[in-house]
Every structure is written in structure tokens, then in C-alpha cells.
Amino acid sequence: MKKVLFVGRGGISRTPMAASLFESMLKKQDSQEEFLVEVAATGHWHIGESPDDEIVELLEEKGCQVKCQPVRQVTEEDLQAFDYLVAMDAEILGTLHQMAGMEETGEILRLLDLAETREEDDIPDPYETGNIESVYDLIYKGCKAFLGYLLKQ
């Protein structure tokens, strides 16, 4: 079983969206039993909370089953326990690399780095942009590329 951890800053918007979309794609491929998908945050301010209501509403409108894990903070143990640690942006990517130091870890990558064509490198925080729909589109594109990458391995 491959273990995937989507990592965001606060853990209530981008990561549950990515995990939900990714699991939906796995289900369509009949591959959901091959993966364990979780979410975590680099920050501590939303620990124990559920995904944001606006995110849940958007995912439900899109026909996607929502992954409703309570937010937890990423740990150094996660770096070894997960095969893939998927950061939403460069800041989070840097935090994961800093946590890893020289230790052997799962593959650390930024979600949009796998997309063949992209206008942006980072998935913006929807609370900073005010545009949840465009964040959804970017995450969908990144998850699709990530799944393609995994299925080729």
C-alpha cells in the first residue's frame, strides 16, 4: 500500500480538497485499496478542526466525497511513514525539507510540479485569493498529474 500525505499550512482548505479529489480519482481507477491518503498541516492553529464549510460545500457540488479528517500537525515521523509528502506551495515544501534535514524520507514534492502545463507553481490559499473555484481547478490538475505519475511507477 502506498501512503500519501497532503500537507498544507492550516489544513482546513487545500489539503482536504486535494485528498478528496485524489481519492475520488483513485475510486474511478478502482485503485483506492492501494493507497492510504491523509492530510496534515505545518501550522497548529486549526488542529482538531474539520475542513472549512465552503470547501465541503464546493466538493459536494462537484460530486466529490469529502475526506473529513480532523486537522493534525505534520510530524517528523510522517516523513518516514509516508511514501509521498505532497506540499501545496513552496513555503510548505521548504518546511518539509527543513524537517527532513539529512534523514531518509518519503518523496517530498509540490503538487503542481508534476503538471505538464501550468500557469502557477503553487496552489494559492483560497482565503488569500478569495477564489475557491480557481484553487479547486489547480488542485484537480495537480492531483490528476500526481495520479498519472504514481500509476507509471
Instruction: List the chain pLDDT tens, one digit each, 153 residues.
Output: 999 999 999 999 999 999 999 999 999 988 888 999 999 999 999 999 999 999 999 999 999 988 778 999 999 999 999 999 999 999 999 999 999 988 889 999 999 999 887 788 999 999 888 889 999 999 999 999 999 999 888
Contact 35, 26 (CB under 8 A): yes
Amino acid at the residue 70: P
Instruction: Say what the pLDDT of residue 32 is.
Output: 84
In CATH, which of 3.40.50.2300, 3.30.420.40, 3.40.50.11780, 3.40.50.720 is domain 2-152? 3.40.50.2300
How far, in Å, CA of 20 to CA of 18, rounded? Answer: 5
List the domain boundaries for the chain: 2-152
Instruction: Say what the pLDDT of residue 5 is.
Output: 98
